[in-house]
Amino acid sequence: MIRNSTVIVGRKTYEEISNILSDPIARIWNAQVIVMSRDPDYQVRHQQAKSATSLDDALSKARFQPICVLGGAEIYREVLACENLVDRMELTEIDRNYGEEGVCFPEFNLDDWNRSLLEECETQSGVQYRFIRFDRK
The string of pLDDT tens digits covering residues 51-96 is: 999 999 999 999 878 999 998 889 999 999 998 899 999 999 998 8
pLDDT higher than 90, residue 22: no
pLDDT higher than 90, residue 35: yes
pTM of the model: 0.84
pLDDT higher than 90, residue 32: no
pLDDT higher than 90, residue 40: yes
List, in sequence order, every residue forming a beta bridge with 34; answer none if it has no partner: 8, 50
Question: What's the pLDDT at 79?
Answer: 94
Peptide bond into 71 cis (omega under 30): no
Report helix, strand or coil for 58: helix
Report helix, strand or coil for 66: coil
Whole-number Å distance between alpha carbons of 97 and 41: 36
Q: What are phi and psi of 47, to 5 degrees?
A: -60, -35
